[in-house]
Amino acid sequence: MARIERVELRMVDLPPKVLRTDAIQSFVSQETPIVTITDSDGATGTGYSYTIGTGGSSVMRLLSDHLVPRLLGRDADQIEAIWRELEFATHATTIGAITAIALAAIDIALWDLRAKKQNLPLWKLAGGAKDRCPLYTTEGGWLHIEKQALVDDALQAKAKGFKGAKVKIGRPHGSEDLDRLSAVRAAVGAGFEIMTDANQGFTLDEAIRRSQVLRDIDLAWLEEPLPADDIDGHVRLSAATQTPVAVGESLYSIRHFREYMQKRACSIVQVDVGRIGGITPWLKVAHTAESFDMPVCPHFLMELHVSLTCAVQNGRYVEYIPQLDDLTQTQMRIEDGHAIAPSEPGIGIDWDWDAVKARSIDEFTTEIRS
């Protein structure tokens, strides 16, 4: 039995590759906590998570002061037990983003370690449902982008074989959203999916109104139309529109997802491995969604979500937003608009450690040993 002997912590601050704006915010930074666990056999596993510019320092202190010391000496293969113990040890700060982001980096590292030691890629270790998954792109659909640029990006994505494109909504008047989306639909035709994302920017009445205004566009989904903690509002909206409602990137507990599903407050599940607390709870949410006949279309983190989406039967799409190009030696493989699950043992992230170390913030770089 190999026990955890050493944990290395780093945080890298990655600037977004393009300007990213939505109905409530602009992305200025991508703080990326990175955790590397070494066991007594000398095997290592690396996990990571992210913020969109705030909270990274708090995540790192939670890791170094409270979570990582509890890992030392533990059997690294007892992932479920470790996750539960760490969640309980921080119960005063759960349920919420800071703790979930910290837990995710640890949990992903443990799964990476397990997969490497079993000589299996994550998508097979976690289920092995398929080896590829369709892509849709978000990178050309941000709210500030002008109408013709939206059209051009959607056409480029279609030409590459992508199955859809996401367009942010939440312009001051619904007629503006309609004008932009109508132009995209006219250009791409009926066989290409258009996803929309309001980023929690609407009130219930406005969400219902916009869903009616946009009804004839034949949208794949309406994502995060309301504040994520307004479950009743999502129930009322889902009953008022034929457009599927998608939620998940701002939910931090398997029980929150259960309640959404039970109340039919959504019909598409976008569970984010970096925000739910790692692979361990991600798989629980995905399997629960399958029992409700709901697809999983995870938010962001394409380099990791390709493996998880391929692991489960109801994984439908991977969201194309490149995140780790500056920190990895190879990028996610794409063939005919599909993300290809990595075949190498582990989570499939080919870290460029020279680049990681060069961009790590000294204040948060530390090593903790047993």
Q: How far apart are CA 104 and CA 274, in angstroms?
A: 5
| pLDDT tens column, 31-58 | 999 999 999 999 999 999 999 989 999 9
Q: What is the pLDDT, as a whole number, of residue 133?
A: 98
Strand partners, 213: none
Within a domain: residue 102? Answer: yes
Which pair of tokens denotes residue 103?
A: 């837990």
Residue 347, domain member (yes or no):
no
| Under 8 Å between Cβ of 116 and 43 | yes
| Tokens describing residue 319 | 């969201």
Same domain, 364 and 302: no
Residue 198 maps to a domain: yes
| Domain at 106, CATH number | 3.30.390.10
Half-sphere exposure at residue 298, Cβ-oriented, CA atoms within 13 angstroms: 29
Tell how many helices (H) and how many strands (E) occur in the chain: 13, 15
Q: Answer yes or no: do 312 and 248 share one domain.
A: yes
pLDDT digits (tens, 9 = 90+) for 59-89: 999 999 999 999 999 999 999 999 999 999 9
Report the SS3 class of residue 341: coil
Element (H, E) at 366: strand 366-369
The pLDDT > 90 percentage for the chain reads: 92
Cα–Cα distance between 25 and 3 in angstroms, integer? 43
Tokens of 189: 């035709």
Give the C-alpha separation, 202 to 221, whole Å: 15
Answer yes or no: do 147 and 215 share one domain: yes
178 has pLDDT over 90: yes
Catalytic residue positions, numbered: 168, 299
Together in a domain, 294 and 357: no
Read off the tokens for 262: 């039970």
2, with CB counted inside 10 A (0-12, 13-18, 19+), is middle
Q: 291: how many CB neighbours lie within 10 A of its CB?
A: 9
The answer on pLDDT for 93 being more than 90 is no
- In degrees to the nearest 10, what's the CA dihedral of 258, 259, 264, 266? -70
Q: Are residues 65 and 209 both part of a single domain?
A: no
pLDDT value at position 370? 87
Residues 42 and 171 in one domain: no
Domain count, the chain: 2
pLDDT band at residue 16 using 50, 70 and 90 as cut-offs: confident
User: Cα separation of 221 and 102, whole Å?
Assistant: 30
Predicted pLDDT of residue 59: 97
Residue numbers of the domain that contains 359: 3-119+352-369
Same domain, 301 and 164: yes
Distance in angstroms (rounded) separating the CA atoms of residues 224 and 332 = 27
Which pTM value belongs to this model?
0.97
Q: How far is CA 87 from CA 14, 70, 84, 148, 250, in A?
A: 28, 11, 5, 47, 18
Determine, yes or no, domain membership for 345. Answer: no
What is the identity of the amino acid at 114?
R
Q: What percent of the chain has pLDDT over 70?
A: 100
**Number of neighbours of residue 19 by Cβ within 10 angstroms:** 11
Whether residues 24 and 100 fall in one domain: yes
Reply yes or no on whether the pLDDT at 103 is more than 90: yes
For residue range 336-358, what is the model confidence (pLDDT) as tens digits? Answer: 999 999 999 999 999 999 999 99
Shared domain for 190 and 266, answered yes or no, is: yes
Say if residue 142 is in the same domain as residue 115: no
Give yes or no for a contact between 192 and 151, defined as CB atoms under 8 angstroms apart: no
The type of residue at 314 is N
Residues 63 and 193 in one domain: no
- Residue 346 falls within a domain, yes or no? no
One domain, residues 224 and 313? yes
- Residue 20 pLDDT: 80
Tell the burial category of 312 from Cβ atoms under 10 Å away from its Cβ (0-12, 13-18, 19+): buried
User: How far is residue 45 CA from its own chain's centroid?
Assistant: 20
Mean pLDDT of the chain: 96
